[in-house]
Every structure is written in C-alpha cells, then in structure tokens.
Structure 1
C-alpha cells in the first residue's frame, strides 16, 4: 500500500491509499462480443484501487470513462434467473409498501432495459421515467407502457427539470467516477421538495473486501462503498440518511435518503463503520487476496492436469474478472454458461470463451461447474440435475 496525491472523488480529500492493482483488463465485461477474435483483442485498461483515509470511499484512480461503452450492446440483465426475479419483485413490493408508491411519479437513474421501473409502474399504478443509454425499446412490453417514458441517455444536470416523488438508482453509482458531483446533481434536482424519497442500491464493498472477492473487481466498477462511506457521501450532499441495509446475501447495499431542510444530521446510523473501520477492511483484503488468487490458480491447474472439463456458470462481469485476473485461457476453461438467450453464441471479453446455453452441457458433459455467484447454487444445481448431469459444483 502507498499514499498517493490524488483527490478523493467523494469527499475531495487530497490523498488516497493505493492498495490493489490489476493491469490489462477488459474495459467492458458485459458488452455483446460477437466473435472470438474481437473478444481476444478486446480493449483493456488498468485498475488501481485506492481508499480515502478521510471518508473510506474506494476508487479506481486509473479509470478512464472514455474507454467504457454503454449502449444497446450492454447486456447486464439478470432477469432470466428465477432466483433474481423473486428478489427483484420482492424489492419492488417492499419499496411500494414502504413509501406508499401508488399513483406516484417515479424516476429511475440507470434503468438498463427497464425491468425495475416497469415493475414499479405495474405493481403500484405509478408513472415512470427511466434514464439509460443502454435502454432497448420494446424489451418489456407492458400494460403500463403509456405511463412509462424512457430516455436513452446518461442522467445529468440537463435533466434536473424532471421531478418525482421517488428517485431510485440501482447498480449504477458504482459505474460513476465523480460520485460527489453526481449525488450533488441529484440533490440540486430535488430542490425544496422535502418529501422526495431517494433510494440507491449498489454492490456492498464490505462483502467484496471481507470475502476476498477479487472477481467482483472489474473495470466498469470504478467506485466502491461501504455503509459508512455511502452515508457520508449523501450527508455531504445535503441529504438526511434515513436507513441503510443489505440484501441478496449481503451482496447489495441499500440507502434511503431525503433532502435535508438545513444542515443534515451527521450522526451515524447503526452499522456504519468509521473511515478507520473501512481501512481495516482494506488491510484484511490486502493481507489475503494474493493467497486467494493462488489457491484458485492451483485448483484450476490441478483440474487441467487431471483432464477435467471445466465450465463457468455466469457469462457476465464476475466471470470476465475471474478469468482475466487469474490469467486463464481456453485451455483452462473452454466455455461459459449463461441462461440469458441473448448472450448465447457471444464471447467472454479478454479470454474468448464462447457463452453457451445450459442445454449445451447435456452433450458437453462437464466434469466441473464453477458458479460465479453462490446465490444461484440451488438454482443451477436443479438445472443440472434436470439435464441428468452431476458434475462437481464449485462456487466463488
């Protein structure tokens, strides 16, 4: 670890502590890559994670947003998984019940293909506006279509005239480098409407650091938050933080905030760690990540030496990061499986594995299936059993 002269994008503090580096990683990990040649020659960038000792925020300080691409080729939906859909619908219902979202105006920043805001409109009879350059018209035909507007663009100051009773932003803030300015923009757009509810969901950095989940570190994720660093960002931006909680086996971090009428209450909520506490998590990660990577390299080398056929289940960001961080090739892992039919026949950025549908495994008959997210173990195991397969199952 080393202290570097780099301003914190969250609090503006002058110095950060660099603690983790990975070089030459794909700059996008969920774009639809149509040929193996394109995948093997995919543009790369560097990751240098640094923590702010003043607020606990973690940033990839070598991130260059000009290298990333968000368009119709960006395919990150998890909506083909029954496990995820159950969670997603339950979250929508919880938010509708919690904030009485019935006949209300809703904004979703970073709506992707429109799954979630469509649920909020249908389940609560709400009106919605979704912002995302990756939006694809017609992906989700809905009886609420006349109450939904989609703007295929990044949310910014130019959309500050769009107002809502409820503003949500799911799995987007981690893609934004200038988080301080972004949350300040959201606050300015609300103005003096104190009843506006703001809800954000992001990856939980405590989960990444404590589980030594190096596969959850990839180029598009340039910003990482724990409870404390997220709450401190919102308070600095003029919000009262009402609640912080986690979901999806602690992988997701949620925040409820409302605009403060004056100076926000700076008292931490239960579970918020201090900046010192965040640095302790960083220290733990630094002490263990090399051993964790070597453990997986040894395991995969053993499988290869024994002639075992290994596939990854999950053709998204975790899979790309797992393969590229470990330096794996097609000789180590031949295929990646994904239940999203739009990904079938595309390729993993950086390493070139073809992404196949689950039915492909009935003929291929793998010896080992490595599941990229343990949340899906029961679902994947059931799918394999239904196909008459009983490979060794490993999870990250």
Structure 2
C-alpha cells in the first residue's frame, strides 16, 4: 500500500493534516492530526492545597496524530518535562467497591492461571501498591513496586512486609528487578516512547522465557467509537487499540498469550511471554490499521456534535438555576470541564477518595468535597464521570437520603 492508501480507504485523507513526527511505536516519520484541544492542565491528579495554586497550574495542548503505518495514536504536543509524578499524585481507585471487585477477580485469575505462589512479582507503575500487595497476599508472593508516587504503608495488609517500593521512574537501572511475573497497569498510556519502554522490559528479562508480562491500559477503540472525549487528557499521551498493542509487543520480542477487554469494555489487557523469535500469529481481537482509521473517521465526524450537546446542556441547566454536581474528581472530570470550557457551569465536585477531600483540582480550581456534602447542598443532578460506578453511587446517595437525578456521559 502507498503511504496514504489506508487513510484514503477510510475517507480520512481530507479530514486530517500530515505532520512530520516520529511514531513512538513503529518509527514511521509521519503522523496525521485529527483532534486538537488547547490549554488544558498538564496533570489531572496532583492534589493542590489552594484554589489559586490550582488555577495557576501549568497548561499544555493535546494534538492527536494517527500513524497510518501501525495505527498508533499519540499527542504530538506532549512534553515529558511535565511528568511530575510524586506522592501527591492521587489516582488510587481502591475506595470503590466496584473497582475492588474487579481487581480481586483479576488478581485471582492471574494467580491461578500462572501459578503465582511463592513467586517474585514486579509491578511497574504500582501507584500506591494496591494491586501488587493483593497479588502478594493471594499467593504468598514477594513483590517490588516501582513508582515515584508510591506511598509505603498506605495499604494495610499482611503482605506489606514482603513488598518493597522503589520511588523512581522505571528505566534500565531497574533491570535487576525481573521476577517471575511483571505487571504494569495504566502506566504505558502515560509514556510516549512506547517501543523504547517495552524493549527495556524485554531487556530486563534476558533469556528467562518463563517470565510472564501483563499490561493493562485504556482501550482507544472505545474512545473513538463512543466519542468519550473525557478520556483524552494531557497525561495520556499514548492511545492503543488491540492491534497496535499486540503489534508493539511482538515487535519488542514478546509472544501474545492473550488479549482481551474488561471493566465495561474500558480496559485493554494483554498477557505476553518473551521469545527469541516472536510468533506472527494474529490474535482474534486485534484490529487492523484500516479499522482504526475507520474508527478515527467516525470520531472526527461526530465529536463536535457531542461537545456541542454538553456545552448547551450545561448552559441550559445554569440558566434554569439547577444545582449540578460532578461525581468523580479525577482525569475524566478535568477533561470534561476543560475540553468543554465550561468550568463555571459546575460549582462542586465530589469524590469518595478521602485523600482528595479538601484539595483543589489542577486547572479547574474546584474544591473536592466528600459525598456527605451533598446532604446539605441537595443537588438537582449528579453527573457521573464513569457509568460503571452508577449503581454504587446510587446506593450511596440512597444511604445518605439524597434524592437527585443521576446522569452519565
């Protein structure tokens, strides 16, 4: 195929603009820009102590480019100098019963499938260590967690004495931490040199072909097909479909053992093992570059309509004097409000994570309130940032005696 044929087939050639930019996944020297959002906060989950600090927070741009060679999508305006992950980076989701059940089911599955008992486990990008500690608890394993935002002692578990935390960004200097099982959840999307990163993991394993490597990331297919603009924010500089993820791992010396979606089809999970000669066998879930181009076309032609709908909806609610609250103060909330440029249309944001309460959202400036605040405020509507939490949120509202309309994106 010639260079533009995939885009021409999808009818994308007139809906994008070519730029000279190296694809971090395959090294191709041209990408095609299809979505742009300007002046958004460069972090969503750093907890800030004052409103002014939050309002003065640095901003950057999102300019998504598609590689027509491998199907990878990246933010060409991303600058890694803003990757300031630290203990005050608060992305812990383990205060949700829904998320905890998902993590428990996943951990049990991996422990059983790969016989993770009395083994050495490494987690790259372990955050506060919830999942690593769970794996070590379930299989009496030993663990090493590598993450600059790690907070030892945050999670109370008997496995804590068998786990050490390394408060650094993962690099070749951590190659000594190999283990029988390497996992990396919701980290690769924060890294732009994706091939370099996965090759570093492969290098650390060397000739040990019995080490299993497991990654979990957001699925870009869902973002494109369902127009979930709230899942596009500055920290996420890399966007994978099943095809681009599988092709990346094969090109870096891994064989794909399994590839699947989970958590309401939001997450993409891959299980791999190192091999000397990667298999060319394509997993049934993998999509082609042409299919990704078709999904991008759908996004490009439909996204303005969705953005306009939400802008007009929030303006209408404000004009009617309705009290609108957002439930969930993380990245989706930041992307929702800043992409729409309607921060002034929402007065309060609530969250169940107690480590967020009383803090202010970067670039948005709203103080994060506990759910109990709603008993006094009595909102007319609660907009839930992630529909998978609707049932538990409704239950919490009922328990608090709050009668309000719950809507999702």
TM superposition score normalised by structure 1: 0.98
1:199 matched residue in structure 2: 214
**Contact 1:313/1:371 (CA < 8 Å) preserved in 2?**
yes
Matches within 5 A, 1:1-396: 1-262=16-277, 264-330=278-344, 332-396=345-409
Alpha-carbon deviation of 1:391? 1.1
Q: Distance in 2 between matches of 1:289 and 1:246?
A: 24
5+ long unaligned stretches in structure 2: 1-15
Q: Distance in 2 between matches of 1:128 and 1:135?
A: 13
Query: What secondary structure is seen at the aligned counterpart in 2 of 1:358?
Result: coil
Cα displacement string for residues 213-252 of structure 1 (whole angstroms, at most 9, x for unaligned residues):
0010000000000000000000110111111000000000
Q: Distance in 2 between matches of 1:391 and 1:215?
A: 23
Alpha-carbon deviation of 1:267? 2.4
Alpha-carbon deviation of 1:164? 0.8
Query: What secondary structure is seen at the aligned counterpart in 1 of 2:138?
Result: helix
Q: Distance in 2 between matches of 1:347 and 1:28?
A: 12
Alpha-carbon deviation of 1:328? 1.2
**Contact 1:334/1:354 (CA < 8 Å) preserved in 2?**
no
Q: Distance in 1 between matches of 2:182 and 2:83?
A: 25
Q: Distance in 2 between matches of 1:160 and 1:211?
A: 39
Aligned residues: 394
**Contact 2:153/2:160 (CA < 8 Å) preserved in 1?**
no
Q: Distance in 2 between matches of 1:380 and 1:141?
A: 25
Q: Distance in 2 between matches of 1:95 and 1:101?
A: 7
Runs of 4+ in 1 over 2 A off after TM superposition: none
Query: What secondary structure is seen at the aligned counterpart in 2 of 1:369?
Result: strand
TM superposition score normalised by structure 2: 0.95
Alpha-carbon deviation of 1:68? 2.6
**Contact 1:218/1:317 (CA < 8 Å) preserved in 2?**
yes
Alpha-carbon deviation of 1:189? 0.6
**Contact 1:328/1:351 (CA < 8 Å) preserved in 2?**
no
Alpha-carbon deviation of 1:387? 1.4
Over aligned residue pairs, what C-alpha RMSD do you find?
0.8
Q: Distance in 1 between matches of 2:20 and 2:74?
A: 13
Q: Distance in 2 between matches of 1:390 and 1:52?
A: 48
Q: Distance in 1 between matches of 2:226 and 2:159?
A: 41
Alpha-carbon deviation of 1:142? 2.3
Query: What secondary structure is seen at the aligned counterpart in 2 of 1:342?
Result: coil
Q: Distance in 2 between matches of 1:302 and 1:77?
A: 34
